[in-house]
Amino acid sequence: MLFHVRMDVQLPHDMPADRAATLKADEKARFQALQRSGQWRHIWRIVGQYSNVSVFDVDSPTQLHDLLMSLPLFPYMRIDVMPLCRHPSSLHDDDR
């Protein structure tokens, strides 16, 4: 199942810089592992914001929920999820 996910990160202004740096490094490592697994298919930065738009390819909404909760920055995110389905006019065979 494909999901469009927007994540807006809002770190507390009083968070120590070293704590923020550690969280960001841990988030990057987790993201790259999920990208290598094929579950996090695409990510795009939203210009001028600490936000991204991503496409996830997972087996179920529950799997997506668990994956999102496993992100180190999850406690500091506002997340919007939209399930996707293949458009009949798509030329791409890997759309599901």
Q: Which residues fall within 8 angstroms of residue 39, CB to CB, at 6 or more apart?
A: 56, 57, 58, 67
Please indicate, yes or no, if residue 16 is contained in any of the structural domains. yes
Rounded-to-integer distance, Cα 31 and Cα 50, Å: 15
Range of the domain at 34: 2-84
pLDDT tens per residue, range 18-62: 999 999 999 999 999 999 999 999 999 999 999 999 999 999 999
Q: What's residue 96's pLDDT?
A: 63
Please indicate, yes or no, if residue 10 is contained in any of the structural domains. yes
Please indicate, yes or no, if residue 89 is contained in any of the structural domains. no
87 pLDDT band (50/70/90 cuts)? confident
Q: What's residue 27's pLDDT?
A: 97
Domain containing residue 39: CATH number: 3.30.70.1060
- Report helix, strand or coil for 15: coil
The number of distinct structural domains making up the chain is: 1
Q: What's residue 90's pLDDT?
A: 84
Please state the rounded mean pLDDT for residues 78-88: 93
Please indicate, yes or no, if residue 91 is contained in any of the structural domains. no
